[in-house]
Amino acid sequence: MSDQIIGMRQWFETPPGRYLLAWERAEFDRAVGDIFGYHALQLGLPELDTLQANRMTHKWLALREPAPADSAQLRPALITDFAALPFEANSLDLVVLPHSLELNTDPHATLREVERVLVPEGKVVICCLNPASLWGLRQRRAHLYRRLGFGELFLPDAGDFIGYWRLRDWLRLLSFEVESGNFGCYRPAMNSEKWLDRYDWLDHAGERWWPIFGAVYFLVAVKRVRGIKLMGPAWKSKKAIATAPVPLANRRRRPTYMEEHL
């Protein structure tokens, strides 16, 4: 298993990691609860069941590498490359990416594959850490200190974090329409659970006064396909065309050519 995935899972066991997961679990339940269809897929993060509130019949979990034996994995997983999913085109109604893009060397390829497997009007739910936050600022400062030979990272060293507006641009280029976006987790970047609890009031204040600076953000987008027209139910009867009798100007039969000349 790669060091990035191990580091991410270990970080989720820390106080800030548990605080983040608790907020994300509530947001995923709210976001996917009213999305209907038949087939849903979660990419990565087996510790968090992002589809537990969804009522689709078929749900899958896809991982790039097998989870450790002691992992709190909630359902059997498919081991696959996120850029080559084992699903037909236009076959899934919902795809959820909880921090899947941050742990990916090629997030563009993953998004293109998600667009391929989603049906028209299918939805994708994405959760990412926000680099433009107090947590992101501390992470960048820690990277600077590490170059000088000291300091410790606050967030897992999981690659480049993707900005909110940057990800919206990527989705727009792939013909996705962003349906909703929101931020969360406004408490300071602290490793102590005691101090995190003392600043719980910032979750309400931050949501009101500086909403775009939350430590994590959510995006819900819909796949739009031009030229696709949604058909109504087949059992709806068509309205009958109103007809009216048309008066005839001349009811006498016209004589034929032979009759006229005979």
Provide the whole-model pTM: 0.79
pLDDT tens track for 55-76:
999 999 999 887 666 555 556 7
Query: Considering the domain 3-225, what is its CATH architecture?
Result: 3-Layer(aba) Sandwich (3.40)
DSSP single-letter state for residue 213: G
Q: Is 47 exposed, middle or buried (0-12, 13-18, 19+ CB in 10 A)?
A: middle
SS in 3 state form for 2-67? CHHHHHHHHHCCCHHHHHHHHHHHHHHHHHHCCCCCCEEEEECCCCCCCCCCCCCCEEEEEECCCC
Nearest Cα neighbor of 134 from 152, 160, 154 is: 154
Please provide residue 31's backbone torsions phi and psi, each rounded to the nearest 5 degrees: -75, -40
Mean pLDDT of the chain: 82
Please say whether the beta carbons of 20 and 215 come within 8 A.
Answer: yes
pLDDT at 241 over 60: no
Of residues 47, 49, 78, 50, the one with CA closest to residue 64: 78
In total, the chain counts a number of residues equal to: 262
| CA dihedral for 221, 176, 95, 234, sign (positive or negative) | positive
Which residue in 50, 28, 20, 11 sits closest to 216, CA to CA?
A: 20
At 24 the pLDDT is: 93
pLDDT of residue 86: 93
Question: Half-sphere exposure of 114 toward its Cβ, with a 13 Å CA cutoff?
Answer: 33
- What interhelical angle do 164-173 and 107-117 show, nearest 10? 50
- Mean predicted confidence (pLDDT) in 194-216: 87
Cα-only R_g, the chain? 28
For residues 141 and 78, the model is more confident at 78
Q: How many CB atoms lie within 10 A of CB 84?
A: 10
Domain boundaries, the chain: 3-225
State pLDDT tens for residues 11-50. Answer: 888 888 899 999 999 999 999 998 999 999 999 888 889 9
| pLDDT per position as a tens digit, 72-81 | 555 678 899 9
- Write the pLDDT tens digit of every residue in 85-97: 999 999 999 999 9
Higher pLDDT, 149 or 206: 206
